[in-house]
A and B are shown apart, each in its own frame.
Chain A
């Protein structure tokens, strides 16, 4: 059940991230070509920046699901098990707490932005573009919770997730190099 939900969310977030990357790439390339040929797109700066922001938060949720955010686990893993697991619980509560605040603040801001539109594309409401903050924060919370059991197991066993990630990457590349 939990695994199914996790896989489903992973697939959805992967496709959202990929689509946003494609969109941003196309926007940047089109804008560069336009400028080189002497014409600038008025909406380029604003829309590209919004795209970057969406990649940040949808991608950050995905990175939380895969526990890829930059951290420092050497000290934590050096603690004896009881202290280590207690610290882990505190750390997780703090992370979740932060995103709860961010989701709440994001909703407050959305209320204030009622009736505002983008500067360059006057038919796009700012509420839509800024929705990424509360939505991204909520997704982050869900992803953090879904990936917690695995993180718990690894930390209990004293294994570093970063090292596991590197092993995985190396394994994949070695297979590719071997296949050639």
Chain B
């Protein structure tokens, strides 16, 4: 009964736009007061402090910073040139370039809004000039940016791994194959649009040009090499890889000579604030988590659902529907922090691999970033393209369908995300 009250309070507070972190903490306090009395309020300070000192989450500000430095350091333009030389010969070349670059780029910084704004403001105007409709340009940008959250490094994955007590590194590895499948899917849809609207190719394929742009972008590739190579090779942890990524991004920016103090200052500031916003949520969830665990809520939920079914696929279907709905209303970070601690005992009891489930959750939330009312990535793309959200969504449906197919594939064919994990780690 009390638990129900806490959730109703949480829901009401979120609906009147109390920051979700505060809404979580306040409903936890109500629970604490009811069960343990006013003396327990000191826990607020202890838990809020403990929650903000989670060592594994130091990877977040580091990756955010590396991303912001990439944004500021001239890496974007060179990546675009290289990808354009590589796949610009396909019909609808600019859309292909957009998707290809997003995979390297978006969501590294954890602020999808900043990334989409940075990439979109370069590519979308060009696309419009080349005859792409504004809604199509926005839809391509938006959907490919969201696909990028399942490709390492990914802030939602770091948050999931910490909440679920599983390995960030393995989750990163699990994202690679589904990410590539998704990218090809998006490119296929973009190609169909390109044929239908007779959109131009970008440039003829020229080995010389590919080589030149590759050499120019080479320092930028040191980033994924360090991050992926270091983690796959088992030489560094995710946090250490993040630290190295910052050094690499700094060096690359200096090499290109495009840094100035204003860029650096803004990168640090944006990184710090993004981190604070997410970490306040994490801290509040520790307060809530403590209360829920003492009240045995996650265990009871797990038992309730297991009494109903023990079939993994049915449980995954239920959770998929749940996360798709949640994705309409919550930002991905908030959704993970809120829901994962509650469902993870169920996952463990049902014998579902938490790494596999992590990928399913992340994909769900990628789709959630495309579904209004809360769809920051979509809204940002629309703002850049000066297009109406509804018009964009009518085009975007086809791209979101690709994400959905990838989600179904990953949910029901666990080998798709997991075989690389098995190969590297088990």
Which A residues are closer than 8 A to B by beta carbons? 14, 17-18, 20-22, 24-25, 28-29, 31-32, 35-36, 45, 48-50, 52-53, 55-60, 62-63, 66, 68-76, 87-88, 90-91, 94-95, 97-98, 101-102, 104-106, 108-109, 130, 132-134, 162-163, 165-167, 169-170, 172-174, 176-177, 180
Contact = CB atoms under 8 A, between A and B. Distances in A.
A21 B272 contact: yes
B273 A28 contact: no
B269 A14 contact: yes
B382 to A, nearest CB: 9
Given A72-B20, A180-B77, A21 B277 contact: no
13 contacts: A25-B65, A28-B246, A35-B240, A45-B55, A49-B55, A52-B55, A59-B273, A69-B277, A70-B21, A87-B17, A105-B46, A108-B42, A132-B49
A29 B17 CA distance: 38
Given A52-B58, A60-B277, A25 B17 contact: no
Interface bracket on B: 35 or more
Nearest to B243: A28
Nearest to A76: B17
Contacts of B130: none
Nearest to A59: B276
A60 to B, nearest CB: 4
A161 to B, nearest CB: 9
Given A71-B19, A72-B20, A102-B45, A49 B58 contact: yes
Contacts of B268: 17-18, 21-22
Interface stretch (B8-16, B346-354, B410-418): B8-16
* Residue picked from A31, A60, A132, A176, most chain B C-beta under 10 Å: A60
A98 B25 contact: yes
* Residue picked from B41, B77, B243, most chain A C-beta under 10 Å: B243
B61 A71 contact: no
Nearest to B380: A166
B78 to A, nearest CB: 12
* Residue picked from B22, B26, B235, most chain A C-beta under 10 Å: B22
Contacts of B231: none
B45 A50 contact: no
Contacts of A24: 58, 61-62
Nearest to A22: B268
B374 A130 contact: no
Given A17-B269, A28-B58, A177-B121, A62 B276 contact: yes
A53 B49 contact: yes
A94 B30 CA distance: 12
B19 A52 contact: no
Contacts of A49: 53-55, 58
Contacts of B275: 21, 52, 55-56, 59
Nearest to B373: A74
Interface string B367-394: 0000001101001100110000000000
Interface string B270-303: 0111011101110100000000000000000000
Interface in B31-83: 41-46, 48-49, 52-55, 57-58, 61-62, 65, 77
Interface in B230-251: 235-236, 239-240, 242-244, 246-247
* Residue picked from A21, A90, A109, most chain B C-beta under 10 Å: A21
Interface stretch (B163-171, B176-184, B208-216, B329-337): B329-337
* Residue picked from B21, B125, B235, most chain A C-beta under 10 Å: B21
